[in-house]
Structure 1
Amino acid sequence: MASPSEQLPDGWEAQWDPTHQRPLFIETATGHTQWEPPTGPAGMMSQPAMESPPPGAGPAHHTKRRQYASGQTQAYYGSTEEPSMLQPMSQPPPQAGMEPQLFTPGLAASNQQFATQQQGQAPSQYYDQNPASYAQPDPNALANQFGQMGLGGQKPFSLQTANLLTSPPDPRDLSLPPPEIRLPPNATVTPSQFANADSSYQRSTVNAFPNTSSLLSKSKLPLALIITPYRTVSENEPPVPLVTDTVIARCRRCRTYINPFVQFIEGGNRWRCCMCNLSNEVPQMFDWDQARNQPGDRWSRPELSHGVVEYVAPTEYMVRPPQPAVYVFLIDVSHSAIQSGMVATATRTILENLDRIPDEDDRTKVAIICFDVSLYFFSLSPGETDPTMLVVSDVDDVFLPKPNDLLLNLAEARAGGGLESLLTRINDMFKDNSIIGSALGPALQAGFKLMVPIGGKMIALSSSLPSLGVGALKNREDPKILGTTKESGLLQAASPFYKTFAIECSRAQVSVDMFLFSTAYQDVASLSCLPHYTSGQTYYYPAFNAARAEDALKFAHEFGEVMAMPIMLEAIMRVRASRGLRMSSFHGNFFVRSTDLLAMPTVATNQGYAIEIQIEETLTSPFVVLQTAILHTTCYGERRIRVVTSAYPVTSNLSEVFASADQVGLAVLLANKAVERSLSHKLEDARDAVSNKLVEILQTYKGSMTAAGAGASAQLAIGENLKMLPVLVLGLLKNVGIRQSAQIPPDIRAYSQALLTSLPAQLLIPYIYPSFYSLHNMPPEAGTVGAEGVIMPPPLPLTSERLERHGLFLIEDGQTIFLWVGRDAVPQLVMDVFNLPSYEVLRGGKTTLPLLENSFNQRINAIVQKTREMRRGAYYPHLYVVKEDGEPPLRLWALSALVQDRADVLPSYQQFISTLKEKVNGNGGY
């Protein structure tokens, strides 16, 4: 065989690239490099020259359009040849670490960067119908290229089947990434591993979309998008790229934002929308570097290489100038609130966190309104240091006693010391208050009147059932109806005020967070309506008593985190999808303003949303794209758009749909749908709907994916990627939110339902399938600091079979931590952990672990601390010590987290699986 150089045109030479283990072709005159052998005259594929702007010219003078050679644009998305319909493409896909087929001088740096990022990516393996608009690489050129590298063709997609009867749940499976999204080759314009949004921002219940609604219906798998658009970013994670030049390219027809899945055509002058295929002009300034005032590198723009990106929005995206962040605190000062220590803890926490409230531009405004059966306003004029208290006792006709000086500029109020003075005095002002009663509704109205011109966040702290004025509620807790068909009525709002007022708040860009502290019934179901429709959050502290340090610490931590949270104001969210897909129903804390526009007065970090998708017409493209866009104002007064884009291959193969199903996404959706059904129907209906959906999925899998077909089978088959779905469903059925029981107080159940519909997947999964660790015999590295922080012990299946009488175990669900101590625990273990001489003197209950001078204690403290910090969100779980022979209620509560055990009328995992098998085989029922 002739050497590569002997086959080259004049002016070219070949060198072996040891880094990528393949030939590199170099044009000797220009230094231009490429991976493919040149097939024409020297220089034919070099980048066209660009005119530099005249000295001093600004962006406004940049009128010269950057022209890209056809070969250069095609290098990123292939040629225009299309494989025959439904046939596997003849050429193999690009492999991990592979640069584009063509290098040009202007692209070398960005290409090298993308190639480095892509190390470790698996090849695409989905082949499906391709419309004429979808461009593919030249088969012959790629065949030659891969022939030199010794790469064969692609392997067919394989579906691995597991038998649930012989494959017990392995909690480690829940930490695995979702099934790989295997897009067709060259689906993106840049070979970036970040082109698809990370699953922590956006994930689908299936990672290969059925091409028809009938195929989706046949699979019985629900199709939905699970979104957490604003999740916190840890120090070791890359931040969301920010586009600051206000150049925003959007499709003229469907308004999709330009993203890694579009195509550039006509020499790079136009781009084809990946949603509707419309050809759009590339904005004039898209290829201009405004910071350096010179032509820029298109391929280095974040929106072409990242699935999650944020834009600084130009003025046309503003209905009004960006408003300042506003925080209005409504503090219950009735007798119960004072006696529990809530008021003292709340005012001290506000005082300690004033520096953490976002206020970089000194525009943030705050107000404090106290209430019992009257309303108490505090006025602070500029320059004053002593606030004036104004009392409004007419709660039937709420008015603001002083239009100005009630909403304080945070920086100015702190400069004079007036705000700090007020916060230190509020508890003393009301310390002898003997008034019992709550005018929460009128207090909310007063806060709304203060905020309505601007919008912002209202944080209400309430210690008792609202008893007078608008929104007054009655105690409707009735033990006789718990566990009956009437129980779902207790989970619905008792007064229409809370929904209608919430919608008013939404229109005025006001969100409400509720902090609830009552020792008695408080009607969490009604009060949580306010956060639900205004994109806020509910926090609940039953039987709060600040005299217990643990109670005060938990509330102070969570309240402080809420205040410090960077909030997104005046937000609207819309999800766009490829032609043939439609968003059909929405779950989460927001108000649906129109058919698909979600209104969010503020977007709190780490809130999750679930959006169901319908397939309205046959999908003919090889992949579909879904894009979530949230237009908002930062708390620093900047209008921005966060865009989250995901692409998924389309398939006509049922086995590929099953193989791509995401068990975590499915569990999140089922939790949201179960709560919705329990409110619209009955709790029993919600449980039945979840169970029946699981049976349908198993029946379809058995009938279509196994040899048993419709006949009886000795096994219960499911895909390896769905092995944990049954135990997640069992955990959901046993969750306090929908569990069958006559012992669950309505407030506890309603709060659990609020969590089930607002937690992101990272928090929701442990909430329905807790983590369980053995501590007394954990590996020596557990509890020590590794490369990624504290090393956690290996998780155990949630069954009491793993409990040992001499052992120490930790069970946690993100909201509560249980430290289970076996009755035969040796004195040395009790001494090392609790600093007590023996098990007998150890007391169970809410506690704080001592920090002792021994490694075992320090490792356990590190694990508890890591448990509190490892998940996103404001929550600070209580720690309970549970003795094996301790108080029965506490023991039962801890054991209820072991969802694979039988409990009361609820089946064990083995019983559940056996019942599923009978149901799937068509005999037996629930």
Structure 2
Amino acid sequence: MSDSTQQLPPGWTAEWDVDNQTYVFVETATGRAQWEHPDGGVSATGPPAPEGSPPTHHSTKRRQYAAGQTQAYYGGGDALAAPSFGGAPPPGGQLFTPGLTAENQFAQQQQQQQQQPGGAPYYGQQAEPDYINHPPYQQQPAYGQPPSGGGVGALTDQFGQMGVGGTKPFQIYTTNLLTSPPDPRDLEVPPPEIRLPAGAALSQSPYSNSHYSYQRSTVNALPNSGSLVSKAKIPLGLVITPYRSVKEGEEPVPVVTDQVIARCRRCRTYINPYVSFIDGGSRWRCCMCSMTNEVPQLFDWDQARNQPGDRWARAELNHAVVEFVAPTEYMVRPPQPAVYVFLIDVSHTAVQSGMVATATRTILENLDRIPNGDERTKVALVAYDTSLYFFSIPPGTTESSMLVMSDIDDVFLPKPTDLLINLNESRAGLESLLGRLNDMFQENHTIGSALGPALQAGFKLMAPIGGKIIVLSSSLPSVGGGSLKNREDPKVLGTPKESNLLQAASPFYKSFAIECSRAQVTVDMFLFSAAYQDVATLAGLPHYTSGQTYFYPAFNAARSEDAVKFAHEFGEVLAMPIMLEAVMRVRASRGLRMSSFHGNFFVRSTDLLAMPEVPTDTSYAIEIVIEETITAPFVVLQTAVLHTTCFGERRIRVITTALPITSNLSEVFASADQVAIATLLANKAVERSITHKLEDARDAVLNRLIEILQAYKTSMTAAGAGASAQLTVSDNLKMLPVLVLGLLKNVGIRQSAQIPPDLRAYAQALLTSLPSQQLIPYIHPNFYSLHNMPPEAGTVGEHGIILPPPLPLTSERLERHGLFLIEDGQTIFLYVGRDAVPQLIIDVFNLPNYDVLRGGKTTLPLLDNPFSQRVNAIVQKTREMRRGVYYPHLYIVKEDGEPPLRLWALSGLIQDRTDVLPSYQQFINQLKDKVNGSGY
């Protein structure tokens, strides 16, 4: 018998439990029990936990604190002058109550502190931002306390962790799609809540599960087996936006700066709110593989104050999204400076379109916004037509010299220094060059583009360091490596061969992209051509180097709208925080595997995603496979992105999501996230359209929707496998059919013989990179009536400008006397009815009547009347309300105006019949027939 059993308090007895290999201590008066493991540590009060349940957190073993800490915790006198939990120490310097375990005394002191008047509030009392979607927390201990042990509460907690009576089950509500037209407001509803078992998280923090804007799952109650997934037919996957922008009023991601990083020795999971502490807090058990790990010595030490710290206040135990400052062992080399190399097309076409003047002016105006916190940022300019033009800028001068390279077959750097310059040291020379660059090539009559050699030159400039190449190109690459031919063929459009136009025409760009990825170089493409530019091939560079593609067809800076849109988006890209040298990996609990990956990156090994740069507000979709039956009550998925910040610090962003496990099919359906499903299906459709055919991509999306509806009908309704007069689905999935219809009608995969391949390829680039917040309006636009909007619409409310209520996407809502707005996040249309009253035209457009109004791209005047100001406010809000750099063009569309523009605008009303594509009602009826078994 251990020492613990020889020193029992009065009224307790001890006996050896053979089954559990532990001592059981029983308080004779109450029946309360404690178990002691043979190593001498009392592990828990209450009944023993069943096999596989999360471990309990109490122990009499002392925490092994850092040197100098023991006296502060357990001693007396001056060591207690500043106890880590705040408040004065008890008389005589006694910090802990005799007879209680150390962990329970921690809890006791936290409770006392919270009850003291005027004390700092604990986390759960703080006001939470509106945008946070709180997981439902069961009765949990106060923040800062480990779960309490003992009595009935402990028993309830144990059952809760097993999923027995501790989690409120999902209520499923069935909707008949035939009689419930889609309501656009349903897309603004957060996804179904994540209902974890009681005590799943260490803390009561509302941030202990990741917000869906960072990471969202297609189901928020994960099936416990692959067979249940097969029954539900809902695709399993994650949609991750690891660096979504943080807007004013939102909580920033907390940063752990002390470089104390606790990771599982076996599976390398980062410590998070779902681990559990054992052995008096000296060890922690991994929530993914159950491995027991030592708690780092300095985990409970406040390095800033050089005194004991409060473990339960550490960000990584309270926040599911957290960033660690990494120690040197996370670095292959010291953090490199941010590097920007601009490759500017200066051919005749580029100069005449005004692209060169707009680009150089935008760079000049945004030099102060380029990330340069550590003053190490480097930049270089390389101009190109059929030759390459390098610019040497000596530090501290306003002078620069141009070096011309006409031999583009063997690209080399004409000068070893002063081509890649420090932004601070050579600022004056750079400003002078940017001011003169357009004039230098104003009379350039060269037609042609040596884009491939220019890329090789840019790569040689920055390969030793890494960074970002920003390409501005106005024509099809025509000379040197990577030259392309015009393969646009109207006869191929709408045929099975069209998918060939969406595949890369030359292996040069993919090979070059992989070389860039190895050297930590990313490529952003800004494309401006009025003619065919082969976006499908050129977009491969950003795709494999984790960059972005931006497309401005027929750009002409003489139109102020074109210049403003490009300058705004280019300026935002320059100002974007840059995360360099990144690798991303998603880990999951035992039984789950990441099976396929969608987005802009290069898969370096089976599950390691190489990202030379991580842009903000870019999303990635990952499919999940359940490999074995899961017996745990919940699982954890953790995304980790190791990167270098633009101010020279190596960091790890960790995003943790915990999901409950269910064996109940109704809970799988009731917890499904229709927005995440649509995002995953969009990514899968684009990939399939490139590897197979566009028709295959459309069929795959449609068939998956039919399978989900069939599974619901068979398993969840009285009709079962028989025919039904209804088409039913769970209420939280009722917008999925209209989202799928919008995806099928999107330019990226739509059945049509009229869509130029460049526009289709660019739409596909958007479908695979936009975060859900931007992707959903892109496939399901917003439609507002402005002429009769509520009086508060367009005015400032509690959350900014108030938007009108969205309308169903059907032309049945159009009125001949009305003014309507249709927008998809990329373009805004103001649709004006032919019978619009003159006063409306005067108030909005400052024109006398409808007849003199001209359709097309425009800038809306801001007039001195309330209606004009409200309409302008709504347009402005539409441009600003989403995350990302995009600045949508505004088009005026007249009801009897140009047919192509009118058809383009009305194509956003996806519930209408267009071309060979059905209306929503026809689509629903087709789905009903196929779900009932006819024609499928």
Shift in Å at residue 382 of structure 1?
A: 2.2
Q: Using the alignment, how far apart are the partners of 2:834 and 2:154 within structure 1?
A: 68
Select which of 543, 548, 563 maps to 2:554: 543
* Closer, same or farther: CA 235–831 of 1 in aligned 2, 3 Å: same
Q: Which residue of 1 aligns with 2:72?
A: 52
Give 1:383 deviation, angstroms. Answer: 2.9
Q: Secondary structure of the equivalent of 1:881?
A: strand
Partner Cα distance (1:597, 1:524) in 2:
27
The whole-number CA distance in structure 2 between the counterparts of 1:262 and 1:763 is 34
Pick from 760, 766, 781 the counterpart of residue 749 of structure 1: 760
* RMSD of Structure 2 on Structure 1 (CA): 2.8
From 740, 761, 767, the equivalent of 2:778 is 767
1:786 is displaced (CA, Å) by 1.2
Asked if structure 1 preserves the Cα contact closer than 8 Å seen for 2:525 and 2:549, the reply is: yes
Check whether the contact 1:570–1:602 (CA below 8 A) recurs between aligned residues: yes
Letter paired with 1:792: L
- Quote the Cα distance in structure 1 between the aligned partners of 2:515 and 2:377: 23
**Correspondence for 2:348:** 335
**Residue matched to 2:849:** 838
Deviation at 1:218, TM superposition (A): 1.3
Q: Give the Cα separation in 1 of the matches to 2:96 and 2:746.
A: 59
Measure the CA separation in 1 of the matches of 2:358 and 2:460. Answer: 27
Match of 1:112 in 2: 122
Structure 1 position 388 matched with structure 2 position 401:
yes
What amino acid maps onto 2:905 in structure 1?
A
AA partner of residue 376 (structure 1):
Y
Alignment of 1:850-889 (within 5 A): 850-889=861-900
1:413 aligns with 2:463: no
Paired position in structure 1 for 2:18? none
Alignment partner for residue 153 of structure 2, among 117, 128, 141?
Answer: 141
The answer on whether the counterparts of 1:118 and 1:192 sit within 8 Å (CA) in structure 2 is no
2:40 alignment counterpart: none
1:222 to 219, 227, 235: 235
SS of equivalent residue, structure 1 residue 674? helix
Give the 3-state SS of the residue equivalent to 2:298 in structure 1.
coil
Contact 2:469 2:523 in 1 (8 A): yes
Distance 1:153 1:444 in 2: 59
Which of 438, 444, 453 is residue 433 of structure 1 equivalent to?
444
Superposition TM-score, scaled by structure 1 size: 0.87
Instruction: Specify which of 565, 571, 574 is matched with residue 576 of structure 2.
Output: 565
Asked if structure 1 preserves the Cα contact closer than 8 Å seen for 2:350 and 2:356, the reply is yes
Q: Distance in 2 between matches of 1:193 and 1:678?
A: 41
Mapped to 2, the partners of 1:177 and 1:67 lie a distance apart of 45
> 1:832·1:854 contact (CA, 8 Å) conserved in 2?
yes
Partner SS for 1:481: coil
**Can you give the 5+ residue segments of structure 2 that lack an aligned partner in the other structure?**
1-9, 11-44, 46-58, 64-68, 81-94, 140-145, 158-164
Alpha-carbon spacing, 1:478–1:121, altered in 2? closer, same or farther (3 Å): closer
* 2:798 aligned residue (763, 784, 787): 787
Correspondence for 1:149: none
Name 1:369's counterpart in structure 2: 382
Q: What is the deviation of 1:176?
A: 0.5
Matched residue of 1:434: which SS? Answer: coil
CA contact (8 A) 2:61 2:280 kept: no
Residue 618 of structure 1: how far off its partner (Å)? 1.0
* Corresponding position: 1:641 with 2:659: no
Shift of 1:51: 2.1
Q: 1:555 matched to which residue of 2?
A: 566
> What do residues 791-820 of structure 1 show as CA deviations (whole Å, max 9, x unaligned)?
111111111111111111111000000001
Q: Could you tell me whether the CA contact under 8 Å between 1:125 and 1:156 is conserved in 2?
A: no
Question: How far apart, CA to CA, are the structure 2 residues paired with 1:144 and 1:625?
Answer: 22
For residue 113 of structure 1, report the CA deviation from its aligned partner.
2.0
Tell me, yes or no, if the aligned pair for 1:249 and 1:283 is still in contact at 8 Å: yes
Once the two structures are superposed, the pairs formed by residues 415-814 of structure 1 within 5 Å of their partners are 417-814=428-825
Give the direction of change, closer, same or farther, for the CA distance of 1:432–1:459 in structure 2 (3 Å limit).
Answer: same
**Distance change >3 Å, CA 890–CA 72, structure 1 → 2:** farther
Q: 1:114 Cα deviation (Å)?
A: 2.5
Distance 1:580 1:672 in 2: 24
Q: Distance in 1 between matches of 2:79 and 2:245?
A: 41
Q: Residue 424 of structure 2 aligns to a residue in which SS? A: helix
Identity %: 74
Tell me whether 1:181 sits opposite 2:194 in the alignment: yes
Residue type matched to 1:718 in 2?
V
The answer (yes or no) to whether the contact 1:734–1:899 under 8 Å persists in 2 is yes
Determine the C-alpha separation between the residues in 2 that align with 1:533 and 1:156.
43
The amino acid of 1:719's aligned partner reads: S
Cα shift at 1:124: 5.7
Check conservation: 2:336, 2:648, Cα contact below 8 A: yes
Q: CA deviation at 1:139?
A: 6.4
1:125-274 alignment runs, 5 A limit:
140-141=152-153, 156-274=169-287
Query: Relative to 1, partners in 2 of residues 1:220 and 1:154: Cα closer, same or farther, differing over 3 Å?
Result: closer
Structure 1 position 52, deviation (Å): 2.2
Tell me how far apart the structure 1 counterparts of residues 246 and 136 of structure 2 sit (CA, whole Å).
28
Q: 1:598 to 1:444 in 2, by over 3 A?
A: same
- Distance in 2 (alpha carbons) for counterparts of 1:192 and 1:504: 44
Q: Which amino acid aligns with 2:124?
A: F
Residue by residue, what CA displacement relative to the aligned partner does 1:232-262 show, whole Å, maximum 9, x if unpaired?
Answer: 0001101000101111010011000000000
Give yes or no for contact 1:72–1:104 (8 Å, CA) kept in 2: no
Give secondary structure in 2 for the equivalent of 1:438. Answer: coil
1:202–1:225 CA contact under 8 A, matched in 2: yes
| Contact 1:590-1:600 at 8 Å conserved across structures | yes
Look up the SS of the partner of 2:605 in the other structure: coil
| Cα distance in 2, alignment partners of residues 634 and 446 from structure 1 | 25
Aligned-partner SS, 1:366: strand
Q: CA deviation at 1:492?
A: 0.3
Query: Which runs of 5 or more structure 1 residues have no equivalent in the other structure?
Result: 1-8, 10-35, 37-43, 58-65, 77-99, 127-133, 146-151
Query: Residue by residue, what CA displacement relative to the aligned partner does 1:662-694 show, whole Å, maximum 9, x if unpaired?
Result: 000000000000000000000000000000000
Give the conservation status (yes or no) of the 8 Å contact 2:395–2:429. no
Q: Which residue does 2:31 correspond to in 1?
A: none
Contact 2:62–2:280 (CA under 8 A) maintained in structure 1: no
The one-letter code sitting in structure 2 at the alignment partner of 1:579 is R
> How far has the Cα of 1:861 moved from its partner?
0.5
Q: Which amino acid aligns with 2:740?
A: V
Cα deviation per residue 1:55-103 (whole Å; 9 max; x = unaligned)? 999xxxxxxxx99998675899xxxxxxxxxxxxxxxxxxxxxxx9995
Pairs aligned (count): 841
- 8 Å CA contact 2:167–2:196 kept in 1: the answer is no
Contact 2:393 2:426 in 1 (8 A): yes
Q: Which amino acid aligns with 2:304?
A: A
Which amino acid is 1:472 matched to?
Answer: S
Which residue does the alignment assign to 1:352? 365
Amino acid of the structure 2 residue aligned with 1:264 = F
User: What secondary structure does 1:506 align onto?
Assistant: helix
- Looking at structure 2, the residues matched to 877 and 506 of structure 1 have their Cα atoms a distance apart, in angstroms, of 31
After superposition, what is the alpha-carbon deviation per residue over 1:453-500, rounded to whole angstroms, capped at 9, x for unaligned?
000000000000000100000000000000000000000000000100
Equivalent-residue separation in structure 1 for 2:108 and 2:919 (angstroms) = 56
1:45, CA displacement in angstroms?
11
Distance 2:120 2:216 in 1: 28
Counterpart AA for 2:378: K
Q: What is the alpha-carbon distance in structure 1 between the residues aligned to residue 276 and residue 103 of structure 2?
A: 9
CA 1:110/1:303 → structure 2, altered by over 3 Å: closer, same or farther? farther
Q: CA deviation at 1:351?
A: 0.5
The 2-side partners of 1:262 and 1:436 are apart by: 62
